[in-house]
């Protein structure tokens, strides 16, 4: 195993988790920085305040990590879109996620778009469709250290309690749609 994705809706804790895993000695790539440094950003969607990304180019740019004997963890909400060995999808309760995104200064429409994506499992479904092994961690009430412990369990093969389907926000559907 050489490449693992840490993915999830913005605000679920990917960067904090990646930072903790790096502090524990894991090799980590900030995928957003990697994308910018390699000129893989496309056009900006002004309405949604996002950029398109050259996924094929991104996939090619990660080849050196795939060939490595050392596991590398990709931190980014697009990391599950490239060829990798497994994906860890971070999850967060919608109300908590909304507060986190508001604290970042996200506009109301961007908060709603991201919370709706979390409620209906968009990232999880995309990752599962890729056919790689996928696991999910509910980070709503976990400390960063606890989330890193859970990720380490997954990376060491102890995956049973992190299988997809363990987290559901469908009870919050009416509030966000």
d(CA 37, CA 32): 9
User: How confident is the model at residue 1, as a pLDDT?
Assistant: 55
Burial class from Cβ neighbours inside 10 Å (0-12, 13-18, 19+) for residue 43 reads exposed
Percentage of the chain exceeding pLDDT 90: 80
CA distances, 78 to each of 58, 82, 155 (Å) = 10, 8, 19
User: How confident is the model at residue 95, as a pLDDT?
Assistant: 97
d(CA 69, CA 34): 20
Q: Is there a contact between 97 and 110 (Cβ–Cβ < 8 Å)?
A: no
pLDDT digit string, tens, across residues 17-37: 999 999 999 999 999 999 999
pTM: 0.92
Domains of the chain: residue spans and CATH:
3-176 (3.40.50.300)
Q: Is there a contact between 31 and 75 (Cβ–Cβ < 8 Å)?
A: yes
pLDDT digit string, tens, across residues 44-57: 777 777 778 889 99
pLDDT digit string, tens, across residues 72-99: 999 998 899 999 999 999 999 999 999 9
């Amino acid at each position: 195993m050489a490449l693992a994705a840490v993915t999830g809706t913005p605000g679920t804790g990917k960067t904090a988790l990646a930072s903790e895993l790096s502090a524990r000695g894991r090799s980590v790539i900030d995928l957003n920085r990697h994308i910018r440094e390699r000129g893989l950003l496309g056009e900006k969607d002004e309405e949604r305040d996002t950029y398109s990304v050259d996924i094929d180019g991104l996939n090619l740019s990660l080849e050196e990590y795939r060939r490595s004997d050392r596991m590398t963890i990709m931190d980014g909400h697009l990391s599950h879109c490239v060829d990798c060995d497994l994906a860890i999808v971070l999850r967060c309760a919608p109300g908590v996620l909304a507060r986190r995104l508001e604290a970042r200064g996200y506009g109301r429409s961007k908060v709603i778009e991201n919370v709706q994506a979390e409620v209906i499992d968009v990232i999880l479904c995309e990752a599962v469709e890729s056919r790689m092994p996928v696991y999910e961690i509910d980070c709503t009430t976990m400390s960063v250290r606890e989330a890193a412990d859970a990720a380490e369990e997954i990376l060491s093969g102890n995956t049973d309690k992190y299988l997809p389907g363990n987290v559901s926000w469908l009870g919050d559907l009416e509030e966000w749609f």
